[in-house]
Amino acid sequence: MSPSLTLHRADEAGALDYVERLLSRADLPTADVREQAGAFRVATVAGERVGVGGVERHGRDGLVRSVVVEPSARGQGVGAALVAALADEVRAAGVERLFALTTDAAAFLAAQGFEPVARESVPERIRGTAQFASLCPDSATVMRRSA
């Protein structure tokens, strides 16, 4: 059963330090978190922070950013619920496709409906993001799904 979670804008919740700390502990890029602050969400369950994630919107395409769940909340469906909530949010804003880059979460993303795609097939707007162009290694798997 998926937990009932609530998403909060990280920039409005004063939670950017939390986002950076959680991403850093997971060895994920933090260099542009403040620049992309509006893209990040903090997930809570019963008022407790359980994870973070985000989607950079680029027209009808979105780039999923660093979904991380607190160690104490792992294995409870929080990650899947977080991805679903992020997809619902951006779909309502007109995003049709989601892209993701990963070095170690391909199986998790596949379980959320993402499929591997060739880097060359990714729209230029997504390829031009800092995440795609420089923050993630070229060896990262590129994945896509419908929003």
What are the pLDDT digits (tens) for 21-55? 999 999 998 999 999 999 999 999 999 999 999 99
Give phi and psi for 9, each to the nearest 5: -60, 125
Which residues in the chain come in under a pLDDT of 70?
1-2, 13
pTM exceeds cut of 0.85: yes
Percent of the chain scoring above 90 in pLDDT: 85
CATH architecture of 6-146: 3-Layer(aba) Sandwich (3.40)
Sheet holding 48-58, edge to edge: 6-9, 40-45, 48-58, 61-69, 97-102, 141-146, 115-116
Strand residues in 71-140 grouped as ranges (E) = 97-102, 115-116
**How many other C-beta atoms lie within 10 A of the C-beta of residue 106?**
17
**How many other C-beta atoms lie within 10 A of the C-beta of residue 116?**
12
Residue 134 pLDDT: 87
Helix, strand, coil abundance in the chain, percent, nearest 5: 35, 30, 35
